[in-house]
Amino acid sequence: MSLYVVRQKVDKSREEEKVRYHGVPVSSGQISIDELAKDISGRCSLHESDVHAAVIALGDVMQTYLMKGNTVHLKNIGMFSISAGSEGFETPDECTPLKVTAQRVCFKADKEMRSILPEIKYQRTYRETTKK
């Protein structure tokens, strides 16, 4: 069961501002690479150390490809890409490579990963702290 808290937000989309309350997910904790490696090794023929090394190498290789401008697709997981932008300029010539900056790593989940969404059930909590 996933947890959520209720937060107050001001809706400014209309003429009159209105206070609204929204359910916001709260993390139940962070899973380490060691925990992932242990869980994955229990589901296949790889040793924990092999899984650990493969995940570290995957991160390194993904960084290399993303830096080269590629997107990285992991089957049943999703697509990783880089978003970039610049400020606006008066002429196209002013928009030089030095003025374009990478802003964030983007992730778009595959259909298989998104398929879990209807199955997630929530329980209200009054604490926003994460469990370890």
Contact 121, 96 (CB under 8 A): no
The encoded tokens of residue 111 equal: 């259909």
Residue 101 backbone phi and psi in degrees, to 5: -125, 145
Residue for token pair 């790889």: 46
Residue for token pair 């990783």: 80
For residue 12, the model assigns a pLDDT of 86
Q: Which residues lie closer than 8 Å to 108 by C-beta, 6 or more apart?
A: 78, 79, 81
- Chain segment 15-51, per-residue pLDDT in tens: 888 999 999 999 889 999 999 999 999 999 999 999 9
For residue 80, the model assigns a pLDDT of 98
> Collapsing DSSP states into helix, strand and coil, what is residue 55?
helix
For residue 58, the model assigns a pLDDT of 97
Contact 110, 80 (CB under 8 A): no
For residue 13, the model assigns a pLDDT of 85
* 7/19 Cα distance (integer angstroms): 10
For residue 33, the model assigns a pLDDT of 94
The encoded tokens of residue 25 equal: 């997910």
For residue 39, the model assigns a pLDDT of 95
For residue 44, the model assigns a pLDDT of 94
Q: For 1-132, where are the E strands, in sequence order? A: 2-11, 18-26, 72-74, 78-85, 101-109, 122-124
Q: Which pTM value belongs to this model?
A: 0.78
For residue 16, the model assigns a pLDDT of 86
Contact 100, 87 (CB under 8 A): no
Mean pLDDT, 10 residues at a time, the chain of 132 residues: 92 87 91 94 95 96 97 97 95 94 96 96 81 50
The encoded tokens of residue 99 equal: 């003025």
For residue 127, the model assigns a pLDDT of 76
For residue 129, the model assigns a pLDDT of 55
